[in-house]
Structure formats: structure tokens, C-alpha cells
Amino acid sequence: MSNYGTPAPKPCYQPLIAIKRIQFVLACLLIGLFQQTYTTMKDLSLTLADPPSPPDQTYTTMGDLSLTLADHTLPDDDAPSMPIIIGAGRGTTGTHLMHEATCHMGYASIYYNLGCIPPPPPHGHATSNDEAPQDIIPETYQTAADLHTRLLNKVGRSARCVGNDGKCGSVLKFKNQTLSLLEAVITASKNDTIVALHDSPYPSLIPYIIKSVKVIHGTPPVILLSERDPVEYTNRRAQSHGGRDLMCKNSTSIDQNTLEGGAFDIIGCIDRALSGLSLEDASKIQLGDIFSTMKQIYNDKQEDGLDEIAKEIKEYQDAVRGKADFALDAFAREGRTKSEDLAAEIASKVGALQVGPVACDFVNHWRRTKIGSIGAQGR
């Protein structure tokens, strides 16, 4: 008997009881560890997810590019050696001609899936890329070109989705990803990897390109505008590539100073649509709610659609022409304009640009190969 009147366990059962007690203690420890781990992971998942927004918090525009651009501001002694060139002409206005002209001027350029690469400067820092096989694109250029392709696809695929009457995802997500990619492309041009950006999607992002170039590079971009008669342009573009062009359903007049506004300012369109909404309500707005495509408007509204698009094109070209360093309507000229002649013409009128004896490789950066070259020429 024990001291409390309870029979003492037989010796043969004592090891079993001890084991049970150990198992109980271990189980408690495991449960505690599990609870601690669960709590930790739960807290971690909260930090990884977007923080919940207060119900009364409203959408704030990023028209001032409130990304991380301040981190990219260059000191005076680290300014890029070449100007940043923006081909502001919309596709089907002679943008390929303008692209070839900047290539003839010796500026690394990009146009849709094509581009050109001048030789490295005589006293530049040689890298292993300089010794790459002749048909291989240097890694630094290809990396920048891949960023361009991601931006091009982000806008182009969204437009195709909208053209198929889809909702096509959150406008907030689209805007954040688009501006982030745009910033990456422009940041990549710091080392003169690509300094001339032509055609889609850049004309739809002009106000934000100007702002980000000023912050990242310290100086505004050189703006080259290719243009075309608005009605002639609309008839041609809407039927061929109009499915790639997003147009704001509720556009405003273009600000002649900032170039914000109009049907083709896709970021401005989002900002206007979400202005004053709570973040919860803003997150529910889909691309298809606020955008159409040029092709949709042209097909659905017939002559009224033609007039509507042509009016927006005219306003865009008039506004950008007022800010452009050089503008050209090649379709209004007699005869064909050669890219090398256009290069000389641009250089004669834009003090920040120059043309000299250059050798330049044309590339298809989607196929990652060189497809031609420009031989060295005299001034």
C-alpha cells in the first residue's frame, strides 16, 4: 500500500507507466512547437501578402511615378553619355523608318522584335561580351531587350484580351506591373545599352516616360515623332494592328504641357477611373471596364468609329508635336525617304544628336541573332 491508501503499482507495470508519462510530455511539447510554428508561418504569410487597407483609404494616383525612381537619380558625374531617344510616333506612321534612322546615327535602338547595336566605344570597357561570336547578341543588350519584350507583351496581350470582350484582370495590377517594367527598361539604358525606344508600347506611356527619364537620367528624353494623316492612319491601322491598341472609354483632352490625357494615355485612363474610390473598390475594376481597342471601336461604330479614332489621333499628334524635338510625316513627302538621309536630317535639327561614321549590327532579339549590318560611313 502507498502512503495514501492506494495500492502501489506492481513493479512490472512501473516501466510502462513511465513510458506513458514520457509520451504525454513529448506530445505536449510537439503540440506547443506546432502551435508556435503555425503562428510564425501565419505571421509570415501576413507580411508577404498585401497589407489590408483601412475601409476609408482611397486610391492615390501614381501619375508622379511614386515607384522607387528617387533611388535611381544619377549624380552629375554619373550621367549617361548618350541622350535617351523616344520614338513617340504610333505604329503605322513610319516608326520602322525612324528606328533605322537612329541606327544610322549610331544609337543602340529597339523596335518591336528588332533592334540595332553599334560597336563599343574605342576607349570603352571591354567585356567578355565583346568577344562573342558575330551572330550572337551581347548579353547586356539581350537582357534589356527581354525587359522591353515583357513590357510589350504585358500591354499587347491585355489589349487582345480586351478586344475579345474579356474583363482581363485588375487595372491596379496591370498599372503596377506596366510601370515597373517601364522603369526597368529605362534604368537599363543608363549604361547606353539601349538608348532609342520606338513603336509600341511607348507612345501609350509618353507622359510617364518623360517623367521617369528626367528622374533616372537627370535630363528629359529627345522626342522624335513620326506622324500621318489621321483618317488615312485610322483606316490603315485599325484594320491591320488596331487590336493591339488600347483606347480609354472615357478620355479627356490632352494636357499640352505634360501630355497626360487623351484616349491613348493608358496610365492616365486608369488614374481617372479609380480617382476617389476606396482601394477595395478600385481593386475590383477590370481592364475591360475602362478600355476598348481601336479595332473594336472601328468595327462597332463604323464611320462614327473612324471619326472618333481620327479625332483622337489628331489630338495626340498635335500635342506631341508641340513637345517633340523632331517631327516627320514621311507619307506627305514625294518619293521614299531613306533612313540614312533621315538620320542626317535629324542630326542637323536636333543639337543633342549627332551622326558620324558608324558600323551597326541589325538584330532580331526574339531570335537572339544578328540579321544584317550597316557598314562604316563617312559624315
pLDDT tens column, 255-277 = 999 999 999 999 999 999 999 99
Q: Note whether residue 168 is domain-resident.
A: yes
Q: Is the bond preceding residue 55 a cis peptide, omega within 30 degrees?
A: no
Residue 57 located in a structural domain: no
Structural domain for 202, as ranges: 69-374
Q: Judge whether 53 lies within some domain.
A: no
Taking the model in full, what pTM does it have? 0.79
First to last CA, the chain: 115
Among 22-31, 37-46, 175-184, 334-343, the minimum mean pLDDT is found in: 37-46
54-82 confidence digits (pLDDT tens): 444 677 664 444 444 444 444 444 555 57
Q: Are 203 and 89 in contact (CB under 8 A)?
A: yes
Give 82 or 161, the one with higher predicted confidence. 161
* Beta strands 222-226 and 326-328, pairing class: parallel
Instruction: Calculate helix-pair angle for 206-217, 171-188, nearest 10 degrees.
Output: 40
DSSP letter assigned to residue 4: T
- 23, part of any domain: no
> Tell me, what DSSP letter sits at residue 140?
H
pLDDT reported for residue 102 = 95
**Residue 40 within any structural domain of the chain:** no
Which pLDDT score, from 0 to 100, does residue 21 have? Answer: 58
- 64 part of a folded domain: no
Q: Between the CA of residue 277 and those of 175, 260, 268, 270, 284, what are the distances in Å? A: 16, 20, 15, 12, 10
CB-based contacts of 315, cutoff 8 Å, min separation 6:
253, 254, 262
Question: Residue 128: CB partners within 8 Å, gap ≥ 6?
Answer: none
Give the residue with greater pLDDT, 15 vs 214.
Answer: 214
| Type of residue numbered 305 | G
Q: Given pLDDT bands bounded at 50, 70 and 90, which one contains residue 376?
A: low
Task: Evaluate whether residue 331 is within a structural domain.
Answer: yes
pLDDT for the residue 346: 96
Q: Quick one: cell of 191?
A: 549604361
Q: Contact 97/226 with Cβ under 8 angstroms?
A: yes
Q: Does residue 27 surpass a pLDDT of 80? A: no
* 3 state SS of 291: strand
Q: Is residue 346 part of a domain?
A: yes
Coil, strand, or helix at residue 98? helix
Range 7-23 average pLDDT: 48
- Contacts (Cβ under 8 Å, ≥6 apart) of 116: 99, 100, 102, 103, 108, 109, 360, 361, 362, 363, 374
Looking at the structure of the chain, the number of domains it has is 1
> Can you tell me the mean pLDDT for 191-211?
94
In order of 29, 188, 280, 283, 318, the CA distances from 250 in angstroms are 62, 34, 22, 19, 20
What residue ranges in the chain does DSSP mark as E strands?
85-87, 109-111, 114-117, 196-198, 222-226, 246-248, 291-293, 326-328, 360-364, 369-374
Hey, is 87 helix, strand or coil? strand
Cα 297 from chain centroid?
25
Confidence at 191, pLDDT banded by 50, 70, 90: confident
Question: Within a 10 A sphere around the Cβ of 173, how many other Cβ atoms?
Answer: 11
Q: What is the pLDDT of residue 354?
A: 81
Query: What's the half-sphere exposure (Cβ side, CA atoms, 13 Å) at 205?
Result: 28
Across 179-187, average pLDDT = 96
DSSP string, 300-368: HHHHHHHHHHHHHHHHHHHHHHTT-SEEE-GGGSSSPPPHHHHHHHHHHH-TT----S--EEEEETTTT
Phi, psi for 331 (deg, rounded to 5): -75, -20
The CA R_g of the chain, rounded to the nearest whole Å, is 30
